[in-house]
Amino acid sequence: MVQVRKQPQRTCLGCRQVKDQDQLVRFVRSPDGEILADLKGKLPGRGAYLCNDRDCIETAASRKQFDRAFRKVCQPVAGRQLVESITEQLLAHLANLLGMARKSAKFVAGSNAVLDALNRKKLLAVVILARDISPQIGEKVRRKAEYQQIVTTQLFDKVKLGRILGRAERSVVGLPDGKLAAAFLDDLLRYQDISGES
């Protein structure tokens, strides 16, 4: 019989709810007292945890909960700054995952290619639309993806999306079902929760 390892639990500094550690964002205190978001959980030192939620982060910052958690004075930080830092890190990680899709050739790019892939059931797990896609094309792709119950999101602009994939401008990218798409979706949900974007 296979034993399932129990996930460590931590208390959110903002709302004080106890949750599984992997549902929270870890923060560490640098030697000079700066508060750093540790999304990968690899930075050394004692960790403090917060929900992946703007309100919890802003509450913890305004109430100086980091000083209590680390039992040391920390550099003053605004909740807004921490939220921006986390969203930037998550966007960079999403771009890295798209770069990995490029290296493994596990993506479909271009509106026609993505629309064609959407005609085949469950080939794609997520569709990324550029923020500056033409409204007509964007709506056409979104409707078809939603009909297939495939997650759609808008990230980056056409130039950035193309650059990540080593191509000219791209307005639509699809990721096929698999581990890479699952990792992308996990980070996308975290990004949407904290940024308030859909």
Residues of the chain with CATH 3.30.1330.30: 87-195
Segment 83-107 mean pLDDT: 93
In this prediction the pTM is: 0.84
**Given a cut of 90, is residue 130 above it in pLDDT?**
yes
pLDDT at 168: 86
| Homologous superfamily of the 9-74 domain (CATH) | YlxR-like (3.30.1230.10)
pLDDT at 30: 94
- Assign 4 a pLDDT band (cuts: 50, 70, 90): low
Reported as a single tens digit per residue, the pLDDT across 31-41 is: 999 999 998 88
Reported as a single tens digit per residue, the pLDDT across 58-91 is: 999 999 999 999 999 999 989 999 999 999 999 9
Tell me the C-alpha to C-alpha distance, in Å, between residue 100 and each of 44, 152, 164.
Answer: 27, 19, 9
Segment 117-127 mean pLDDT: 87
SS (H, E, C) the chain: CCCCCCCCEEECCCCCCEEEHHHEEEEEECCCCCEEECCCCCCCCCEEEEECCHHHHHHHHHCCHHHHHHCCCCCCCCHHHHHHHHHHHHHHHHHHHHHHHHHCCCCEECHHHHHHHHCCCCCEEEEEECCCCCHHHHHHHHHHHHHCCCEEEECCCHHHHHHHCCCCCCCEEEEECCHHHHHHHHHHHHHHHHHCCC
Nearest to 35 by CA among 62, 66, 59, 56: 66
Residues of the chain with CATH 3.30.1230.10: 9-74
Return the CATH number of the domain spanning residue range 87-195: 3.30.1330.30
pLDDT at 25: 93
Segment 96-116 mean pLDDT: 93
Evaluate whether 46 touches 29 at the Cβ level (below 8 Å). yes
The amino acid occupying position 148 is: Q
